[in-house]
Structure 1
Amino acid sequence: MPSKIIPIVMCGGAGTRLWPVSRDTMPKQFISLFGGASTFQRAIKLLSDAEVFAPAIVITNVEYRFTVQEQLQACGVSAQIVLEPVRRDSAAAVAAATELALARDPAALVGVFAADHVVQNGTLFVETCRQAGLVAQQGRIVTIGIPPTAPATGYGYIRPGEEIGDGARQIAAFVEKPDAARAAQYLLDGYFWNSGNFIFDAATMRTELGTFEPDVLTPVSEAVAKAEPDLDFLRLEATAFSRAKTISIDYAVMERTQKAAVVAGNFGWSDVGGWSAVWDLSEKDADGNAIEGRGYVLNGANNLVRSEDALVAVIGLDDIAVISTRDAVLVTPREQSDKVKQMVALITAHGESEAGAHREIQRPWGKYLSVDMGARYQVKRITVKPGGVLSLQKHYHRAEHWVVVRGTAEVTRNDETIIVHETESIYLPIGCVHRMANPGKIPLELIEVQVGSYLGEDDIVRLQDIYKRV
């Protein structure tokens, strides 16, 4: 039986392949794609098996820290949350995880897992990790390879070599994403898909990083040594971390080390790399239609229809994806859903804010939804969690009206503190110092009407903030 594996969950990416649902402000790992838990929550629950895994470390960035914390609390799992000050690709994240694990245990085993993948057989996944841990204890860096079910061109491949025991094989080569003909040959030749999940002896990984990429290991080690607590998070030191070379762990170590091995993962795996993959994993009706939300299909088959708000009706079409959010709609043949990333680039080039930002924005105290906006006004629906407190702030260019529609607000306005009940309102003139809190036990909901010459979020001058955003 190997030592317990310290799971590292990589949770900082902002993928666009599931746009318009996944955007920079709320990427796919935090979204409920199949009803219920997000893919991050699914992953963290799988990695909570105390017989195989030690308490997890989640590596994310500053923007997502409160979302990670909230989703961990919602599924009842504790984990250390580590904040990267800048994005430096996966090698730097693995280096940080290695240093943190060695600080816990000089003989630590580490598992690196993506937050946005889906596993269908959790029991077999945990057993595969336990098996990989046995191999990793021998000083190996073990990748979990997925036996391919189709000649996919969207994955990298692994050519397995000689058997080395405990169900593992040496890695003869990592292969870049192939064309269709080559992928078909790889399928016949027994290659694996490269899942990007791997388990290793931390001391071995540190040695290999130091050998191949000291420009990653040295600054990251310094950033970990100088890391400081920030509320419930550990913030890596920014100056040192920023010096780390930007490179993936595959290029930095996995394709160069002589200590790589692969074990087969037969647990049903998907990286949920596009809307076609979401259709594959979703429950379907008798005609093969997968519908989430207010969607209807007439005389059509094998469609994916997903709507957050509007009613979506599809007539006489097959094999398409219709994805409707509050502010954007995507329509594409499912077989071309891999081009969504290109579409997002096109939308971004035209300056459309919907490329990266949702209308509903999460905050540590709750969330707000932009309902309507004009030349000199904006209307928001704001929800404040019980105990949530907005920052003490002021604005130079706008006044605000707050109307409470549910719960009770405790409002600071200059030198006064006012309790505002349901159906009551309060006016905040330009320049006044104000703050809102929810002292109650139910969510506080209110309508905010902003009026002024400039309504951008950067017209918030924070004076105090319990979440340290000043």
Structure 2
Amino acid sequence: MITPVVMAGGTGSRLWPLSRQLNPKQFLKLCGEPTLLQQTLARLKGLDVTAPSIICNNEHRFMVAEQLRQIDLKNSSILLEPVGRNTAPAIALAALNARKDGDDPILLILAADHYIENPNLFQDAVVKAKVLAEQSKLVTFGILPKHAETGYGYIQRGDTLSDIGFRVTRFVEKPDSGTAKQYLASGDYYWNSGMFMFKASVYLQALENFQPKMLKACKKALQQGGTDLDFVRVDAGAFSACSDISVDYAVMEKTDSAAMVPLDAGWSDIGSWTSLWEIGEKDESGNVIKGDVLAHNTANSFIYADHKLVATVGVENLVVVETTDAVLVAHKDSVQDVKKVVSAIKRDGRHEYMNHREVYRPWGVYDSIDSGERYQVKRITVKPGAKLSVQMHHHRAEHWIVVSGTAKVTIGDKEFLVTENQSTYIPVGQVHCLENPGVIPLELIEVQSGSYLGEDDIVRIKDRYGRRLDPQ
């Protein structure tokens, strides 16, 4: 049996301003209606696989759980990384977790943020790779190169293995332009996809051989962790002791059991805005347009309007991306430098690298509509049956106006319903709670007023989602 392991960590800074640290690209709808994570999971339908394991950052846990709920995917295991330590330790956690009951499944390691145009060809490659994995090979998927790409690592193929794949001669780093052209001309090199397949036991044995300290730290982290709702938590101190290293460096480049299965299925790692332009549906002028856009005398550009009308006149080879709180304008040849802009935003202490104006919570979402000195206005959406934490604030009062749905409000020892076009008031320092008892989303406007309006002025007293409580 195959157990898919989907790595959903990372921040996707090169796709800013859509991708943010708390809402990265794998959770966005960049290539059609489903998110990239949901597309990755849908790609598995028809294969003989168990429920998948998802590895994600602790901060993204509720977003992952909600996206699995949206596609009715049950019994999945969500492993939470307390800190990022790259792919080798993350896969070690998944392998150890898969073996906890004595089983030894074949792990199919996938990235949550990749795009594959032809899922059927992907599944064909997985079936072939399974044969090699059953022979205790550590299998990687090599992408048939289309051009001399300098942004990917490469895999050099060796001898043929049963007409299924090849032995791996070596892995090589991202080449310069001249070297990439030589690789393409030789026909012996493939792009490194970052997808793998191997038995859990074989990978753990490889770590025992090449990274024993890492393996020991991962075992300790899992043993000292525990389960929380739908999540598998690991001990932060033990996991932090792991080295920050990829599976390529830790295992694949060292083992003599590496094999490669070619994959030619329209793959992209969506590593930049230009990648999205390349795979997108283009108009007669070569433009990929999303949203409310007027493109006049515009060619070969990617234009994304999230909330406002975007108009372009007399331009070409541009990337223009508009969100509620930021606009990116870049030449297509320079989009790899977007991450430098994100670094500068983070260095300057601005919020735009971290959050969108809309912020997702386990109970729903809030949108910061307006703010000024001593006030802030939010639009809040609470999912049916969801409940915010029991909390209080030291520095702000709140007014709630229900737009649609019904709110169950607790203020002190009083509990009452607030319906459409009704409002209520929560004084400074008053313990309170908001719940949606209905079957439709609850929409309300919250007006905060006070001397300090930061999110850290929330004293959380009770919480059904396992979030940290504050001492009273």
TM-score when normalising by structure 2 = 0.97
- In the alignment, which residue of structure 2 is the partner of 1:68? 64
Partner of 2:438: 440
Measured in 2, the distance between the counterparts of 1:355 and 1:99 equals 34
Displacement of 1:278 in angstroms is 0.7
Deviation at 1:170, TM superposition (A): 1.1
Query: How far is the alpha carbon of 1:454 from its aligned partner?
Result: 0.6
1:56-135 aligned within 5 A = 56-78=52-74, 79-104=76-101, 106-135=103-132
Q: Specify the code of the residue in structure 2 equivalent to 1:364.
A: P
- Mapped partners of 1:105, 1:5: distance in 2: 15
| CA–CA separation in structure 1 for the residues paired with 2:221 and 2:394 | 38
CA distance in 1, matches of 2:88, 2:69: 28
Give 3-state SS (helix, strand or coil) of 2:109's partner.
strand
The letter for the 2-side match of 1:85 is P
Of residues 127, 135, 153, the one that matches 1:138 is 135
CA contact (8 A) 1:359 1:370 kept: yes
- Structure 1 partner of 2:370: 372
Give the letter for the 1:309 counterpart. Answer: H
**Aligned pairs for 1:56-455 within 5 A:** 56-78=52-74, 79-104=76-101, 106-190=103-187, 191-455=189-453
Deviation string, structure 1 residues 31-57 (Cα, Å, up to 9, x no partner): 0012300110000111243x4322211
Q: CA deviation at 1:258?
A: 0.8
Q: Is the 8 A contact 1:48 1:77 kept in 2?
A: no
Which residue pairs with 2:43 in the alignment? Answer: 46
RMSD: 1.2
SS in 2 for 1:152: coil
Cα distance in 2 between the residues matched to 1:65 and 1:347: 25
Counterpart Cα distance in 1 of 2:199 and 2:464: 39
Matched letter for residue 160 of structure 1: R
Q: Aligned partners of 2:347, 2:78: CA distance in 1, in Å?
A: 34
Task: Give the aligned length.
Answer: 466
Cα shift at 1:319: 1.4
Whether the aligned pair in 1 keeps the contact of 2:55 and 2:90 (CA below 8 Å) is yes
Once the two structures are TM-superposed, the CA of residue 204 in structure 1 deviates from its matched residue by 1.2
Tell me the distance in 1 between the aligned counterparts of 2:7 and 2:346.
Answer: 26
Does the 8 A contact of 1:9 with 1:113 survive in 2? Answer: yes
Q: Identity of counterpart residues, as a percentage?
A: 47
Alignment partners' CA distance in 2, 1:379 and 1:215 = 50
Of 16, 36, 57, 1:19 maps to 16
Return the alpha-carbon distance in structure 2 between the equivalents of residues 304 and 105 of structure 1. Answer: 50
1:105 Cα deviation after fit: 5.1
Q: Deviations over 1:143-176 (max 9, x none)?
A: 0000111111110001111112242111111110
2: CA distance, partners of 1:102 / 1:425: 53
Distance in 2, matches of 1:201 and 1:343, equals 41
Report the Cα distance in structure 2 between the residues aligned to 1:241 and 1:7, rounded to whole angstroms. Answer: 22
Contact 1:136 1:199 in 2 (8 A): yes
Contact map agreement 1:47 1:56 (CA 8 A) in 2:
no
Give per-residue Cα distances to partners, 1:337-356, cap 9 Å, x unaligned: 11111111122222221122
TM-score, length-normalised on structure 1?
Answer: 0.97
Q: After TM superposition, give the deviation of residue 104 of structure 1 in Å.
A: 4.8
1:219, 1:240 within 8 Å by CA — same for their partners in 2? yes
For 1:342 and 1:24, locate their aligned partners in 2 and report how far apart those are by CA, in whole Å: 14
Alpha-carbon distance, 1:226 to partner: 3.3
Between the aligned partners of 1:16 and 1:147, the Cα distance in structure 2 is 26
3-state secondary structure, aligned to 2:99: helix
Q: Is the 1:141–1:198 contact (alpha carbons within 8 Å) kept by the matching residues of 2?
A: yes
- The 8 Å contact of residues 131 and 166 in structure 1, kept in 2 or not, is answered as no
Contact 2:79 2:94 (C-alpha < 8 Å) held by counterparts: no
**Alpha-carbon contact 2:154-2:191 (below 8 Å) kept:** yes
- Tell me which amino acid in the other structure corresponds to 1:265: L
Q: CA deviation at 1:108?
A: 1.7
Aligned counterparts, 1:23-42, within 5 A: 23-42=20-39
SS of the equivalent of 2:122 reads helix
Give the Cα–Cα distance (whole angstroms) in 1 for the partners of residues 350 and 457 of structure 2. 21
1:92–1:216: 8 Å Cα contact kept in structure 2?
Answer: yes
Q: Which secondary structure state, in structure 1, belongs to the residue aligned with residue 14 of structure 2?
A: coil
CA contact (8 A) 2:222 2:235 kept: yes
SS of 1:17's partner is helix
Deviation at 1:412, TM superposition (A): 0.3
Deviating beyond 4 angstroms after TM superposition, the runs of 4 or more aligned structure 1 residues are none
